[in-house]
Amino acid sequence: MSAETVELLRQRLTAALTPQTLRIEDESQRHTGHAGAKEGGHYKLVIVAEAFAGKNTVARHRLIYDIANELMRGKIHALAIHARAPGEV
């Protein structure tokens, strides 16, 4: 399930944001036994995209959550987001 989830998220983010950098790490194994881990995985996202320029952290996260949409209500239990604009790297 996790490789499928990573690929779905990668496809959505790539199509919507055309990122310069995109890295998604499955950290689910670090949360074994956590109640929420039964429903969905834990992931870390590192993304650099022009779409984040001029947006604050909350706006960036909302944009990503909107793109992930239903994945956040099932396949993804937790998503650590590191979103930057190109000039911030």
pLDDT tens by residue, 12-27: 999 999 999 999 999 8
Q: What is the pLDDT of residue 28?
A: 84
As a whole number, mean pLDDT of residues 35-57 equals 86
Domain ranges of the chain: 2-88
pTM of the model: 0.87
C-alpha separations of 30 from 34, 41, 51, 53, 83 in Å: 9, 10, 31, 32, 22
Q: What is the pLDDT of residue 1?
A: 45
Residues counted in the chain: 89
**Token pair listed for 83:** 């979103």
As a whole number, mean pLDDT of residues 71-75 equals 90
CATH topology of domain 2-88: GMP Synthetase; Chain A, domain 3 (3.30.300)
Query: Average model confidence (pLDDT) for the chain?
Result: 90
Q: What is the pLDDT of residue 13?
A: 98
